[in-house]
Amino acid sequence: SIASADMDLNQLDAFLTAQTKKQGGITSDQAAVIAKFWKNHRIKIHESLINQSRWDNVLKNMNWRVDLKSQSRHIDQINTPVAIVEMELGKNGQ
């Protein structure tokens, strides 16, 4: 809950206080350890969650164009637009 909400220190304090007051919750010593750990490792944990939620591939390049038919056997196919899209994917960080 702490990591997914990316809690600041005030939110963390309120959350841990609520957890200590719950029936079967954590002790105040456990809350202090969790708070200290979160304060020291918050940025690393947040970056790790972001990296885990990204797709492996990223869009490197994209080209597109719209073509119109100027000749056809059937008159209803003339000037029919056709979109052509080319996407280049690559691994994240490469």
CA nearest to 8, candidates 48, 39, 40: 39
pTM: 0.55
Q: Average pLDDT for residues 17-34, to the nearest whole number?
A: 93
94 pLDDT above the threshold of 70: no
Going by pLDDT thresholds of 50, 70 and 90, the confidence category of residue 93 is: low
Residue 19 near residue 1, CB atoms below 8 Å: no
Q: What is the pLDDT of residues 30-89, one digit of tens each?
A: 999 999 999 999 999 988 888 787 777 788 899 999 988 777 777 777 778 889 999 998
